[in-house]
Amino acid sequence: MRVEIVNLKRYFGRVKAVDDISFSFDTGHVFGFVGPNGSGKTTTMRILATLDEPTEGDAFLDGVSIREYPELARRRLGFVPDSLPDHADITVHEYLDFYARAYGLKGMVRRRAVEGVEEFTNVTGIRWKLIKDLSKGMKQRVSVGRALVHDPDVLIMDEPAAGLDPRARIELRELLGALGERNKAILISSHILTELTEICNGAVIIEQGHVLRTGTVDELMNSHEAEGEGATRVRVRSLGPGDELRRALLEIPGVLEARPMGNGVVEMETERGEEVSVAILQALVAKGCPVVEFLPLRPDLEEIFMQITKGEVS
């Protein structure tokens, strides 16, 4: 399954919420959708989930337009909103059962599907609890279960980790890992970029309705490095005091800056190139520094995001 978003535009009067967005991702990919508040993430996701219509452009699931054939898209898409809408007087099981019915599952198939997602999302123990009585984390699990009940190929998740406590976040990450193994194409938006780096294979960064950068995580990092100012960050730890290590590092050619981080750890910025790193390490060893760790640091998604976005809203 290939999901393609082609020249998508969504205007609300004069406000260009989404302005000519194009990117694609495939089955088995967990794709991060990153952007500041008001950048058009939710609007794009709502359009993909067929809850809204684009002003122009389209999205395709294996070549089938979601604009022209949304009913087909709905069968193959699952949407997890940032928060589960309030549903009074309905239990978790009934809620999942309703959506299974709504997607046309019948009889035993439906029962198995509901029990399957309850087990997968670990809500079996709370299946007879009312949804309104659940914690935010549990509601998010139910929401994921709802999106999975018809076994879609594509999962669209809008800020699923928003408002979750650390434990619930870790559980959600595990759930996403398990989903990735099920060969789903997942588009996930989140503000917690460190988590996205761990989960995602690729990412799209948008701002003011425009795509700033897209690609796999490696591609993004490489392109960031290629566009960088010529500095590579390296973390060095020695058995000696951090200040001594810092002084030693600053004497070595190629080291631009060094900052002690405590416990004998120093983070330095060096000129770019692996040869420079090798030369610095050799020089350190030659100086007799008891180096325990020498780790070139790659920029993470957060760093890339902060560097290329300006925090402006369309």
Partner 1 sequence: MKKKLLSWWADIRAGDLNPVMVRELRQYTRSRFTSYILVLMLAGLLLISAGFFSTSRGSVGVSGVELSAGSGAAMYGFVAVALALASMLLALYTTLRLGNEHRKDKPDLLFSTSLAPGTIVRGKLFAGLAMFGLLLSLALPFMTMTYLLRGIDVRSILWGLLWLLVLNVLLLSGAILLGCMPLGPLFRRGGIGLSAMLFWFLFMRAGSLVGTGYLLGVGGISMLAFDKTVTVIVLSVLVTAFLLPYAMSVLSLSPRWSNRARPFRLTLTALSALWAGLIVIGGFVHGSIPMGPLMACLVPATLIFLGMLQIGECVANRPSTRVLKTVPRSWLGRVLCFPFYAGGANSLVWCVSLLAGLYGAAYYAMEPASRWSSRGAAPGLVVAVYAICYILTASLLSGRFPKSIREGAGAPWLVSLYFFAASGMIPLFVETLYENHKIKWHPKIELGSVFAMFHGQPDLWRPHLGVAVPWLVLVLGLNLPRVLAAFALFRRPEEPAGVSETEVKEGAEAVQS
Site of interaction with partner 1 (CB under 8 A):
12, 46, 49-51, 53, 63-65, 67-72, 74-77, 79, 81, 85-90, 94, 98-99, 101-104, 106-107, 110, 146
Closer of 102 and 295 to partner 1 (Cβ): 102
Residue (84 or 301) nearer to partner 1, CB: 84
Least distance from partner 1 to the Cβ atom of residue 47, Å: 12
Minimum separation from the CB atom of position 250 to partner 1 (A): 55
CB-nearer residue toward partner 1: 31 or 79: 79
| Shortest Å distance, C-beta 50 to partner 1 | 6
Nearer to partner 1, 51 or 192 (CB): 51
How far apart, in Å, are the Cα atoms of 47 and each of 56, 200, 214, 279, 314?
11, 22, 19, 52, 18
Shortest Å, Cβ 212 to partner 1: 26
**Helix/strand/coil (H/E/C) assignment for every residue in the chain:** CEEEEEEEEEEECCEEEEEEEEEEEECCCEEEEECCCCCCHHHHHHHHCCCCCCCEEEEEECCEECCCCHHHHHHHEEEECCCCCCCCCCEHHHHHHHHHHHCCCCHHHHHHHHHHHHHHCCCHHHCCCEHHHCCHHHHHHHHHHHHHCCCCCEEEEECCCCCCCHHHHHHHHHHHHHHHHCCCEEEEECCCHHHHHHHCCEEEEEECCEEEEEEEHHHHHHHHHHHCCCEEEEEEEECCCHHHHHHHHHHCCCEEEEEEEECCEEEEEEECCHHHHHHHHHHHHHCCCCEEEEEEECCCHHHHHHHHCCCCCC
In terms of CB distance, is 51 or 279 closer to partner 1? 51
Q: Which is nearer to partner 1, 74 or 246 (CB)?
A: 74
CB 98, min distance to partner 1, A: 4
Residues 6+ apart with CB under 8 A from 282: none
Closer CB to partner 1, residue 97 or residue 171? 97
- Least distance (Å) between residue 66 CB and partner 1: 10
Give min distance, CB of 136 to partner 1, in A.
16
